[in-house]
Homo-oligomer: A and B are copies of this chain.
Amino acid sequence: MTEMRTLKVALLGCGNVGAQVARILIEDADALAARTGARLQLSGIAVRNVNAPRDVELPQELFTTDAETLVKDADLVIELMGGIEPARTLILSALRNGACVVTGNKALLAQDGPTLYEEADKAHVQLSYEAAVAGAIPILRPIRDSLSGDRITRVLGIVNGTTNYILDQMDSTGAQFADALAEAQRLGYAEADPTADIEGHDAAAKAAILASLSFHTRFALENVHCEGITSVSAADIAAAKDAGFVIKLLAIAEKLANADGGEGVSVRVHPTLLPREHPLAAVRGAFNAVFIEAENAGELMFYGQGAGGTPTASAVLGDLVSAARRLVLGGPGRTETTTGHVPALPIDAAVTSYYIGLDVADQPGVLARIAQLFAEHGVSIEIMRQTIHRDAESKVESAELRIVTHRASEAALAATVEAVKGLDVINSVTSVLRVEGV
């Protein structure tokens, strides 16, 4: 057997994912070497506290608090610390030293990706981040490489397992949001401070990354309209269910006509009604999936585990082996192409269908007046359904009106809802939710 080259791998961070990456690098060293053509030697693990307890037993001598020195001596750097600093400085330093970098840091990529990409381009090294979106699911490489000869028109993703678990629980048990969240926290699907998940911030960072790769244009977090799931009620879920829909928190990036006649991309995260027969509707529990529409390929879906130490470690190692093979075989690295330069559209420009729930007075002509008002605002109604609730003496207690519109712009819808609120026959607008996949 010929002598194999050794590549030094520096690991920054040893949490949930990092510990599994270290374990696999050690346990599967021979298999990884066979596939790479070089030995991947874990040269050290930078942590804040070398004595902190770990998920996995690892050789104590690997741990160090001196991340900078570790990075300087590495051929490949895996950054799994999370957060902006010191991750950003360490990644930039690694790239400048000519090391390939693998990261799962979606917050950093969404906030300051362009700086990192430029540094990687300059140094002709590879910056990969498959683990940053949808955990174990290979999604960034297929978008970047497999679909590089196609035109993606729309991406719909369930990219946050915590919120999918909560919404799925609400859907299957009828639980209220607060109870489903508490259950998710008890089972470890939600963190003690669940803000980043339930407010949609985590999904928004992933939406920015998906949009950037899909449309060959750099989109930042500030281009993403973001609504979380905290206001989704058990009543919303029940009404959606009744109408044949399921509510999912979707990260959406789609190409739309811009107001100036050109094209733009709407990037947004919000609770969305999906018909139960849509492939994404079947994504249960904490699973993730990304649904892609492309001009030539048509509809594609990628499904798998979106989080968890071991699954996410699989994505990190896929990037690591690919980068290492590149080092072994020679040739420069490649990050992403940004040749599209399509503008990000404001949320007002988004075009979608809407589900509107109204508590209305039971008077003759109410439906006609509401329908008329929608028509005046250019919003076409697809389905209108009235349910009358009566008490024991058959007296009307309340009347509920559920409307699903055809595709309309956010602006037109907002104006319609505003006008509806002004009608004297409306007691309240109980819900306004967007609908996809119809």
Which residues of A line the B interface, CB within 8 A? 20, 24, 28, 31-32, 34-35, 130, 136-138, 141-142, 145-151, 216, 279, 282, 294, 296-305, 308, 310-311, 313-322, 325-326, 329-332, 334, 337, 339
Copies in the complex: 2
For the complex formed, measure the closest distance between the CB of A56 and the CB atoms of chain B, giving whole angstroms. 13
Q: Is the CB of A332 within 8 A of B334?
A: no
Q: Which chain B residue shows the least CB distance to A31?
A: B151
Contact A321 B148, CB 8 Å, known A298-B136, A299-B304, A310-B296: yes
Contact A28 B304, CB 8 Å, known A279-B282, A330-B332: no
Q: Is the CB of A148 within 8 A of B318?
A: yes
Which of these, B282, B299, B331, contacts A326 with CB under 8 Å?
B331
Give 28 pairs: A residue, B residue, CB < 8 Å, sorted on A.
A24-B149, A24-B296, A28-B151, A34-B216, A35-B148, A136-B298, A138-B141, A138-B147, A141-B145, A141-B146, A142-B142, A142-B146, A145-B321, A147-B318, A149-B314, A149-B318, A294-B314, A296-B310, A296-B317, A298-B304, A300-B303, A300-B304, A301-B301, A301-B302, A329-B331, A329-B332, A329-B334, A330-B332
For the complex formed, measure the closest distance between the CB of A104 and the CB atoms of chain B, giving whole angstroms. 13
For the complex formed, measure the closest distance between the CB of A124 and the CB atoms of chain B, giving whole angstroms. 9
For the complex formed, measure the closest distance between the CB of A288 and the CB atoms of chain B, giving whole angstroms. 10
For the complex formed, measure the closest distance between the CB of A191 and the CB atoms of chain B, giving whole angstroms. 21
Q: Is the CB of B145 within 8 A of A314?
A: no
Q: Is the CB of B145 within 8 A of A322?
A: yes
Q: Is the CB of B330 within 8 A of A334?
A: no
Q: A146-B322, A294-B314, A297-B314 are in contact. List 6 more A-B contacts (CB 8 A).
A: A35-B339, A141-B141, A148-B322, A148-B325, A149-B314, A297-B311
For the complex formed, measure the closest distance between the CB of A144 and the CB atoms of chain B, giving whole angstroms. 9
Q: Is the CB of B282 within 8 A of A296?
A: no
In the complex, which residues of chain B have a beta carbon less than 8 angstroms from the beta carbon of A142?
Answer: 138, 141-142, 146
In the complex, which residues of chain B have a beta carbon less than 8 angstroms from the beta carbon of A314?
Answer: 147, 149-150, 294, 296-297
* Bound Cα distance from A166 to B241, whole angstroms: 32
